[in-house]
Each structure stands twice: as C-alpha cells, then as structure tokens.
Structure 1
C-alpha cells in the first residue's frame, strides 16, 4: 500500500522544544527539534508543520487536540502522552515509544508507525486512513469503535489487541502474530489472515480441528 510521506524541506531551523513557549501561537514550522526534554508539560492545540523531531522526551505530556502535518518523529518517547482529538496527516513515527498513550477520537491519515512500541495505546473512536504499522508492537492496544480504511499491520505484535465494534474487513493481519485477540466474529468478516491464524481463530471459537 502506498501512503503519502511527509513533505519536509532540507533546510530546517534548529530549535529546542521549550522555545514553543516564546511563540505567539503554539506552533513550529520548518523546524528541527533534537534532544529536548518536555515531559509532564501541557500545551493545547499545538501545531507542528514540516518538522523533524529527534531524540525527545514527551512522557506524560498533554498534547490534546494536536495538529500534525508533514512531521517525522525519530527515537522519541511519548509514553502516557495525551494526544486525544489529534489530527495527523503525512506523519512518520520511527523507533518511538507510545506506551499507554491516548490517541482517542483522532484522525490519523497517511501515517507510518515503524519499529515503534504502542502497547496499551488507546485509539478508541478514531478514524484511520492509509496507515501502516510496520514491525510495531501493539500488545493490549485498544482500537474500540475505530474506522479502518486502507490500514495494514506488517510483522506486528498484536497480542491481546482489542477490536471491539471495529470492522476488520479488508485489513491484512496475516504477517502479524498474536496468542489472542478481542474481536467479534461479525467484525472478522473479510479480514485477511494466514492459515495458522485461521486455525488460531477456530480454536478460540472452541472448534476442534482434525486432519
């Protein structure tokens, strides 16, 4: 699946994330932010545009209603961050931690989560459009009542992920692994699975398979 990648200029202005407090509006454009500690902070309606963020710590920070366009996060820790009601388009998360983060009621489009940890992330009531999870861990992630359009899980750990009230029609999970999933049979219709996974689902249903 082809997704649109972030459009980021070559020449970026170097900043520290704390510089955001000196901006008239809470926004960075065409910026490079590296090695910033910004944990346990709170900024409402932050806007990041054409920006790269590397090696930064945003643990427990409240970024509710964040607006992200053309942004790449590398080696960042956003564990337990509040990104509820976020708007994301053309975003990349590479080698990031979002352990237990809140992304409920968000729009996530043209976004790639690669080699990242999203265990226990809350995605409830969000809309996904052209999103790739690549070699990511989503153990016990909560995708309650989400709309998934052109979403793929490539070699991911989706063990104990919750897909209640979320249709997996057209979604390919065949290269990912799990011991159990929380999903209704109705919402599994049209989901692309491997032969081994089909046997797993059958056993979860209580079917006894004989050769």
Structure 2
C-alpha cells in the first residue's frame, strides 16, 4: 500500500498494481469493455463510444479525445500523457486513479464517486467537472483550470497551485475544499464556497470580487 503525502494533514492512497505484471494490450475502448492488469500505450482511440471497467491499468500516450463513455468504473488506474480533450465521461466511479501531464481541454466529466483521485500538471481549461461524492481526496495539483466550471459536492476537493482564472464554482457543498496556492483572478462563485479554505493573500486579492458577489457597493 503506497501513499502520496500532500501535507502533514493530507495524504492519499496511490493506484495499486505491479507494472511488471501488466500485459500490453491494444484496447479500442469501444462498446462494452472490461479490462484488468493491462498496459496501453500509443493508442488511437479518439471518438470512442461505450461503457466499461478498467482495473489495475496503466494508460499512456493514448488519444481519447472526443471519447464518450456513458458509464465508467476505474480502479487502480494511472493515465499519463493522455489526450482527453472534448471527451464526455459520465457516471464515473473512480478509486485510486491518477492523471499525469494529460490534456483534457473541454472535458465533460461527472464523478459519481471519487476515492483518492489525483491529477497533476494537466490542462482542464474550459472543462465542466461535476462531483457527486468524494471519499478520501480529489486533488488537482498544478493544473490549468481556466474557465472551468465546477458543480456538485466539492467537499474534500483540493486545488493546489492551480490556475483558476475565470473559473466558476456552483457547489452543493464545499466543506474542506482547499484552494490555497491557486490563482483566483475573476473566479466566480467564491461566495458560495462555504467551508472552503483560502490563504490570507487570496482573501485580500479576492475581496472586491467577493463583495460584488454578495451585493455590496464599493465606493471611495
């Protein structure tokens, strides 16, 4: 069991699989699929449509742009340098999943459940991210999330050192959501993020924006 240490207070479990025991496979991700203990690399799966399950899998250098999944169950999966741009992933159940240095511009994703999901150095600009429930943590680390829309229960979501310029929050809950270290230029919906954490510097830089959202008039 391997953990990723984020801080003294935050840590999460990493995907559990032995790379040496993964079988190289060519997977189309079309129709119904159920795969486990596989390694996919350099796959051309743009526009794939279907639903299925992946367990103990490594997916690298694969084009999944424009893919459409009606239901997706991910358990102990790592995506690396994968293109998810303009994809639509619905009814996603993710447990110990990582996304590294991947491109997901315009992604539409609905996470029914997320248990220790981690995304690092990814581009999610113009995405729509809906979260139903987080167990453990859902972490975005050094990601670009410009003009991204977040909806649903954002409790226990960590946005660390991310670009959230012109992003929008419309949460049903946000207790424990951590925005510290991220840029919040023209970020909308911060007044609805009850229970979220920001730094003193962020509070100062967003004061005018927050005041405007709650209906205050600012005059010299």
TM-score range, shorter chain: 0.7 to 0.9
CA RMSD of aligned residues (A): 2.2
Q: Following TM superposition, by how much is the alpha carbon of 1:162 offset from its aligned partner in structure 2, in angstroms?
A: 1.5
Q: Among residues 34, 48, 61, which one is paired with 1:41 in the alignment?
A: 48
Contact 1:138 1:161 in 2 (8 A): yes
Residue pairs, 1:93-132, within 5 angstroms: 93-104=99-110, 106-124=112-130, 126-129=132-135, 130-132=137-139
1:196 to 201, 205, 216: 201
| Residues 1:136 and 2:143 aligned together | yes
Cα distance in 2 between the residues matched to 1:100 and 1:109: 23
The alignment status of 1:4 with 2:13, answered yes or no, reads yes
Match of 1:16 in 2: 26
Equivalent pair of 2:75/2:97 in contact (CA under 8 Å): yes
Structure with bigger RCO (C-alpha 8 Å, 6+ apart): 1
SS of residue paired to 1:164: strand
- Structure 1 unmatched runs, 5+: none
Matched, 1:148 2:154: yes
1:171 aligned counterpart, secondary structure: coil
- The TM-score with structure 2 as length reference comes to 0.84
- 8 Å CA contact retained: 2:85, 2:107: yes
User: Aligned to 1:84, what secondary structure does the other structure show?
Assistant: strand
Deviation at 1:209? 10
Q: Which has the higher strand share?
A: 2
Deviation (angstroms), 1:184: 5.2
Residue of structure 2 aligned with 1:29, choices 36, 56, 61: 36
- The structural deviation recorded for 1:105 is 5.2
TM-score (norm 1): 0.88
Q: Secondary structure at the match of 2:58?
A: strand
Who is 2:65 aligned against? 59
Q: Is the 8 A contact 2:153 2:174 kept in 1?
A: no
Q: Give the paired residue count.
A: 204
